Amino acid sequence: MKKIFKFNNKGPAQYRRHKSSGSGFVILFAVTISSIILAIALGVADIAFKEINFSTSAKETNDAFFAADAGTEFVLFKDKTSTNYPMPDAGSSYWTETIPSINGVSGGSCAIVTITKDNTTTNPITTIISKGYNVGDNLCTSNNQNRVEREVKVSY
């Protein structure tokens, strides 16, 4: 048996034109999906960053409040237990006390307490205003941008 091969030689293959309306759709779809995923990731990262800042802020606020409270308690204790607790200078009715390193750490919480004594009435009034800070040096000063101040006022 003899095989006969027939070749259909019509010349080069005809040039086919592709539809231009679908060109680049896959790349557009990939860029769109990537943009959506990036936007979601950035949104989640932003929320996480804000939560971290909020929790840190709450800790710093507590440190400042407890420093103010400790300053108030310090002055109350001295005023009630000591008969020769420093009185204001002549011609003045108030004085201040600086209480550094309340938490025992250098540069940590501190307080500035202002004590005012009004002896002009039959019932003398003492007012204590304690400003507590979450950070401060020996003079309770700091340039830290995250410094928090809380104030406690006591009158008796």
SS3 string, the chain, reads: CCCCCCCCCCCCCCCCCCCCCCCCHHHHHHHHHHHHHHHHHHHHHHHHHHHHHHHHHHHHHHHHHHHHHHHHHHHHHHHHHCCCCCCCCCCCCEEEEEECCCCCCCCCCEEEEEEEEECCCCCCEEEEEEEEECCCCCCCCCCCCCCCEEEEEEEC
Q: Are strands 110-118 and 125-133 parallel, antiparallel or unpaired?
A: antiparallel
pLDDT digits (tens, 9 = 90+) for 141-150: 888 888 889 9
Written as six digits, the tokens of 136 are 């401060």
Of 152 and 10, which is predicted with more confidence? 152
Lowest mean pLDDT among 62-76, 86-100, 128-142: 86-100
- Is residue 8 over pLDDT 80? no
100: left (phi over 0), alpha (psi -120 to 50) or beta: beta
